[in-house]
């Protein structure tokens, strides 16, 4: 237990704690399988809720959580941390300026060991990595394109005997949109993973591309700060002159002063407080979370069935 929490009472039951303490706000940062149950219990008790992603392990449970928030007039914020990241907000803005249709190329592979690998194995007890991490990046794709996702394909492989027989620790999803936009996301966890090209974040359109370019000295793929630090955003424009040469040099936007992971968590906290105090309309936020979760769960279904899934 961290020293900062040493003086607090630790309740053995979440539900009993809700009844006894009657909190105004509950933070659900447990493993995925308890997100829906705990979030619903807290809102029914009268608390607003911040819940980590994914919102639930099934679309049906995610809908139940959202329905509960609406029925009880509670604020529900889901932990999509990149929505509070100024660099990612700029990436989305610049990509939308280019116009679609788009190609999305995104991954986050983690060569994990020790405590990080233990955490990854615990996460994979109930939730695949393309759901747990994929919801972030599929959410980014859906913020850039206004097109509707229509089909998802997935593939995966179990690369370790330390995880359940029906789970995989390498996964790849492809999502197709109704305007021709396509995107892929790749995730791999474990001590066997390569750190070559472990952080790819590209958005390509007929008019150019926008990319997150990492500091080449950063090689620790399981460092949580490396997952959110962008270093630079590079903008390339496809426009050419009469001789076929590029009209514009690439633009590099330095993100040297961007917040670290803890500061991003604090930005999420500030957003939660603002949502409560200013009574923000969260319908779009909740619907977007449901959409990205549905896409990633469809990819997991495709991995297991070997068939594409129509949305």
User: Class of 84-265+292-310 per CATH?
Assistant: alpha beta
Beta carbons within 8 Å of 270's beta carbon, 6+ residues apart: none
Nearest one of 183, 139, 118 to 288, comparing CA atoms: 139
- Tell whether the model's pLDDT for residue 227 goes beyond 50: no
3-state secondary structure 103-135: EEEEEEEECCCHHHHHHHHHHCCCCCHHHHCHH
Of 204, 200, 196, the C-alpha closest to 186 is: 200
- How confident is residue 229, by pLDDT bands cut at 50, 70 and 90? low
- What pLDDT is stored for residue 217 in this prediction? 59
Q: Is the dihedral of CA 20, 26, 30, 31 positive or negative?
A: positive
Query: What percent of the chain stands above pLDDT 90?
Result: 86
SS3 track for 77-112: EECCHHHHCHHHHHHHHHHHHHCCCCEEEEEEEECC
Q: pLDDT, tens digit, for every residue of 141-159?
A: 999 999 999 999 999 999 9
Return residue ranges of the chain for CATH 3.30.360.10. 84-265+292-310
- Omega before residue 101 within 30° of 0, cis: yes
Confidence class of residue 9 from pLDDT cuts 50, 70 and 90? Answer: confident
CA 68 – CA 43 distance, rounded (Å): 7
pLDDT tens digits, 85-143: 999 999 999 999 999 999 999 999 999 999 999 999 999 999 999 999 999 999 999 99
Range 221-241 average pLDDT: 75
pLDDT at 219 over 70: no
Q: Note the CATH architecture for domain 3-78.
A: 3-Layer(aba) Sandwich (3.40)
The mean pLDDT of 225-234, rounded to a whole number, is 66
Phi and psi, residue 181, nearest 5°: -60, 140
Band the pLDDT of 225: cuts 50, 70, 90. low
Whether the pLDDT of residue 261 is over 90: the answer is: no
Per-residue confidence band for 257, with pLDDT thresholds at 50, 70 and 90: confident
């Amino acid at each position: 237990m961290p020293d900062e929490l040493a003086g607090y009472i630790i309740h053995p039951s979440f539900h009993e704690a809700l009844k006894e303490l009657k909190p105004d706000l509950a933070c659900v940062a447990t493993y995925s399988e308890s997100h829906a149950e705990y979030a619903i219990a807290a809102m029914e008790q009268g608390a607003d809720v911040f819940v980590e992603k994914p919102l639930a392990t099934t679309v049906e449970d995610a809908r139940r959580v959202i329905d509960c928030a609406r029925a009880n007039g509670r604020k529900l914020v889901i932990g999509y941390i990149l929505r509070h990241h100024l660099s990612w907000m700029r990436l989305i803005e610049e990509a939308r300026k280019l116009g679609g249709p788009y190609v999305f190329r995104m991954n986050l592979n983690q060569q994990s060991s020790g405590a990080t690998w233990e955490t990854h194995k615990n996460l994979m007890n109930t939730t695949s990595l393309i759901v747990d991490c994929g919801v972030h990046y599929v959410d980014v794709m859906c913020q850039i394109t206004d097109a509707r996702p229509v089909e998802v394909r997935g593939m995966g492989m179990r690369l370790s005997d330390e995880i359940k027989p029906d789970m995989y620790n390498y996964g790849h999803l492809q999502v197709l949109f109704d305007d021709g936009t396509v995107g892929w996301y790749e995730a791999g966890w474990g001590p066997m993973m390569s750190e070559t090209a472990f952080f790819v974040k590209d958005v390509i359109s007929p008019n150019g591309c926008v990319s997150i370019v990492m500091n080449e000295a950063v090689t620790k793929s399981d460092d949580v700060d490396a997952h959110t630090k962008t270093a630079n955003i590079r903008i390339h424009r496809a426009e050419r002159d009469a001789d076929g040469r590029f009209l514009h040099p690439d633009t590099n936007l330095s993100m040297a002063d961007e917040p670290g992971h803890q500061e991003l968590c604090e930005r999420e906290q500030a957003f939660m407080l603002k949502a409560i105090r200013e009574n923000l309309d969260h319908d779009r936020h909740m619907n977007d979370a449901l959409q990205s979760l549905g896409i990633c769960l469809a990819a997991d279904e495709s991995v297991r069935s070997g068939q594409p899934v129509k949305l």
